[in-house]
Chains A and B, each alone.
Chain A
Amino acid sequence: MATEVELKAGIPSGKKVITGNYAVSYGAALARAQVIAAYPITPQTQIVELLADFCAEGALRANFIKVESEHSAMAACIGAAAVGARAFTATSAQGLALMHEMLHWAAGARLPIVMANVNRAMGPPWSIWTDQNDSLSQRDTGWMQFYCESNQEALDTVIQAYKVAEKVLLPAMLVLDAFFLSHTSEPVEIPEQGLVDRYLPPYNPEFKLDITDPRAFGGITMPSEYFELRYKMQKAMEEALEVAKAADLEFKELFGRGYGLVEPYRLEDAELALVTSGTVTSTARLVIDELRAKGERVGLLKVRLFRPFPTALVREHLLKVPKIAVIDRNISFGHGGIFAQEIKSALYNAEPRRPLFGFVAGLGGRDITPELIEEIIAYALAHDRPEEEIIWMGVKR
Chain B
Amino acid sequence: MSTKAKAKELAPDRVVAFASEREMPPLAVSLGTSLANKTGSWRYLRPVYEEKEPPCNHACPAGNDIRGFIALILKGKLAEARELLCETNPFPAITGRVCHHPCELECNRQKLDEPLSIRALERLAGDEGYNGKGLRPPRRRHKERIAIVGSGPAGLSCAYFLARKGYQVAIFEAERKPGGMLRWGIPEYRLPKAVLERELALLRDLGIEFKAGLRVGQDLRLEELQAGYDTIFLAVGATAGVELELPGGEAAGVLHGLEFLKRVNFGERVELGERVAVIGGGNTAMDAARVALRLGAKPVVVYRRTRAEMPAIPEEVEAALEEGVEFTFLAAPIEVLTANGQLKGARFIKMELGPPDETGRRRPMPIKGSEFKLELDNLILAVGERPDLSFLPEGVKLREGRVNDPVLVEALRAPIFAGGDAATGAGTVVEAIASGRRGAEAIDRHLRGLPEPEPEREPVLVPFERINLDYFEPRPRAQGRALAVPERVTNFEEIELGLSLEQGQLEAERCFSCGGCNQCDNCITYCPDVAISRHDDQYEVDYDYCKGCGICAQECPRWVISLVEEEK
Contact of B28 (CB < 8 Å), options: A219, A224, A231: A219
Let me know if B34 and A216 touch, CB within 8 A. Answer: yes
Contact of B26 (CB < 8 Å), options: A214, A216, A224, A236: A236
A225: chain B residues at CB < 8 Å are: 18, 24, 28
A169: chain B residues at CB < 8 Å are: 26-27
Q: Taking A228-B21, A232-B21 as contacts, is the C-beta distance between A215 and B32 under 8 angstroms?
A: yes
CA distance A232 to B18 in the complex (A): 14
A229: chain B residues at CB < 8 Å are: 24, 26-28
CA distance A214 to B33 in the complex (A): 5
A215: chain B residues at CB < 8 Å are: 29-34
Let me know if A219 and B30 touch, CB within 8 A. Answer: yes
Let me know if A217 and B29 touch, CB within 8 A. Answer: yes
CA distance A218 to B27 in the complex (A): 7
* A203 close to B (CB within 8 Å): no
Q: In the complex, which residues 107-122 of chain A have their Cβ closer than 8 Å to any Cβ of chain B?
A: 108-110
A207: chain B residues at CB < 8 Å are: 4, 25-27, 29
Q: In the complex, which residues 219-268 of chain A have their Cβ closer than 8 Å to any Cβ of chain B?
A: 219, 221, 224-225, 228-229, 231-232, 236
B contact residues, total (Cβ < 8 Å): 18
Q: Taking A215-B31, A215-B32, A216-B33 as contacts, is the C-beta distance between A206 and B18 under 8 angstroms?
A: no
Least CB distance, B31 to chain A, in whole angstroms: 7
A228: chain B residues at CB < 8 Å are: 18, 21, 24
* B3 close to A (CB within 8 Å): yes
B3: chain A residues at CB < 8 Å are: 206
Let me know if A110 and B30 touch, CB within 8 A. Answer: no
Let me know if A206 and B2 touch, CB within 8 A. Answer: yes
* B37 close to A (CB within 8 Å): yes
B17: chain A residues at CB < 8 Å are: 224
Least CB distance, A91 to chain B, in whole angstroms: 24
Let me know if A219 and B34 touch, CB within 8 A. Answer: yes
Let me know if A219 and B31 touch, CB within 8 A. Answer: no
Q: Which residue of B lies closest to A169 (CB)?
A: B26
B25: chain A residues at CB < 8 Å are: 207
CA distance A231 to B34 in the complex (A): 25
CA distance A109 to B26 in the complex (A): 8
CA distance A206 to B24 in the complex (A): 13
A110: chain B residues at CB < 8 Å are: 26-27
A231: chain B residues at CB < 8 Å are: 21
B26: chain A residues at CB < 8 Å are: 110, 169, 207, 229, 232, 236
A214: chain B residues at CB < 8 Å are: 32-34
Q: In the complex, which residues 32-48 of chain B have their Cβ closer than 8 Å to any Cβ of chain A?
A: 32-34, 37
Least CB distance, B88 to chain A, in whole angstroms: 45
B32: chain A residues at CB < 8 Å are: 214-215
B29: chain A residues at CB < 8 Å are: 207, 215-217
Least CB distance, B315 to chain A, in whole angstroms: 44
CA distance A236 to B24 in the complex (A): 14
Q: In the complex, which residues 1-24 of chain B have their Cβ closer than 8 Å to any Cβ of chain A?
A: 2-4, 17-18, 21, 24
Q: Which residue of B lies closest to A215 (CB)?
A: B30
B24: chain A residues at CB < 8 Å are: 225, 228-229, 232
Least CB distance, B544 to chain A, in whole angstroms: 15
CA distance A203 to B449 in the complex (A): 79
Q: Which residue of A lies closest to B20 (CB)?
A: A228
B34: chain A residues at CB < 8 Å are: 214-216, 219
Q: What string of 1s and 0s marks CB contacts (under 8 Å) between A176-219 and chain B? A: 00000000000000000000000000000011000000111111
CA distance A221 to B24 in the complex (A): 12
CA distance A169 to B4 in the complex (A): 15
Q: Taking A214-B33, A214-B34 as contacts, is the C-beta distance between A221 and B28 under 8 angstroms?
A: yes
CA distance A216 to B530 in the complex (A): 14
CA distance A308 to B26 in the complex (A): 18
Let me know if B33 and A219 touch, CB within 8 A. Answer: no
Least CB distance, A229 to chain B, in whole angstroms: 6
Q: Taking A216-B37, A225-B18 as contacts, is the C-beta distance between A109 and B30 under 8 angstroms?
A: no
A108: chain B residues at CB < 8 Å are: 27
Instruction: Name the residue in A108, A206, A221 with the highest tally of chain B Cβ atoms < 10 Å from its Cβ.
Output: A206
CA distance A110 to B29 in the complex (A): 11
CA distance A216 to B29 in the complex (A): 6
CA distance A219 to B31 in the complex (A): 11
> B residues touching A (Cβ–Cβ < 8 Å)?
2-4, 17-18, 21, 24-34, 37
* Complex A-B: 12 CB contacts under 8 Å: A109-B27, A215-B32, A215-B33, A216-B29, A216-B37, A217-B27, A217-B28, A217-B29, A217-B30, A219-B34, A219-B37, A232-B26
- Known contacts A110-B26, A216-B34; 12 additional CB pairs below 8 A are A110-B27, A207-B29, A214-B33, A215-B30, A215-B34, A217-B28, A217-B30, A218-B28, A225-B24, A229-B27, A229-B28, A231-B21
- Give the top 6 A-B pairs by smallest Cβ distance, nearest first: A216-B34, A216-B30, A228-B21, A214-B33, A110-B27, A221-B28
